Amino acid sequence: MKRYWKIISLCVLTVLILGFFYIQSGLAAKEDIKVEFEKVSGNQAELEKILFYGDYEIGNIYQSLHFTNQETIDINQLSLLQSLNRELSSPYYKKLVKEYRSFMRGKIFTTNSFYEDEKILAYAELDYQSAKKSSFDIDVLDKKSGETTSIKLDLPEKEKYNWADVSEVQAIDGKLKVFVRGFQVTGTSEINLYTFDIDKEKLEENEVLLSTSEKENNWSDIRMINSYQSSGYERYILFNIETQQVETYEDESSMEMKDNLETANKELIIYDIETGKTNKMVTDDEMIGFLDAASVYDSTLFIPIQVENRFEINQYDIEKQVWGKKITFDVPAPEDGHSPGPYMKLMNGKFYLVSATKKGHSLVVGDISTGKTLYEGIMKVKKDGVEQSDYRLYIHEMETVQ
pLDDT for the residue 257: 35
* 24 and 132 part of one domain: no
Are residues 227 and 305 both part of a single domain? yes
Q: Do 24 and 115 share a domain, yes or no?
A: no
Pair 203, 226 in one domain: yes
Q: Is 304 exposed, middle or buried (0-12, 13-18, 19+ CB in 10 A)?
A: buried
Sign of the C-alpha dihedral computed for residues 243, 245, 250 and 252 taken in this order: negative
The verdict on 370 and 287 lying in the same domain is: yes
Q: Cα–Cα distance between 203 and 187 in angstroms, integer?
A: 27
Q: How many domains does the chain have?
A: 2
Q: Indicate if 20 and 94 belong to the same structural domain.
A: no
Whether residue 139 is found in the same domain as residue 80: yes
pTM of the shown model: 0.80
16 and 104 belong to one structural domain: no
Q: Does residue 215 share a domain with residue 99?
A: yes
Q: Are residues 15 and 122 in the same domain?
A: no
Q: Give the range of the structural domain holding residue 26, as residue numbers without chain letter.
A: 1-30
| Residue 214 and residue 155 share a domain | yes
CB atoms inside a 10 Å sphere around CB 123: 26
For residue 175, list its beta bridge partners.
172, 197
Segments of the chain scoring below 50 in pLDDT: 1-6, 12, 15, 20-30, 80-84, 86, 252-262
From the list 277, 290, 400, 381, the residue with the least C-alpha distance to 38 is 381
What local confidence, expressed as pLDDT, does residue 377 receive? Answer: 94
Amino acid in the structure at residue 303: I
pLDDT (tens digit, 9 = 90+) per residue, 331-348? Answer: 766 665 556 678 888 888
Please check whether residues 196 and 341 belong to one and the same domain.
yes
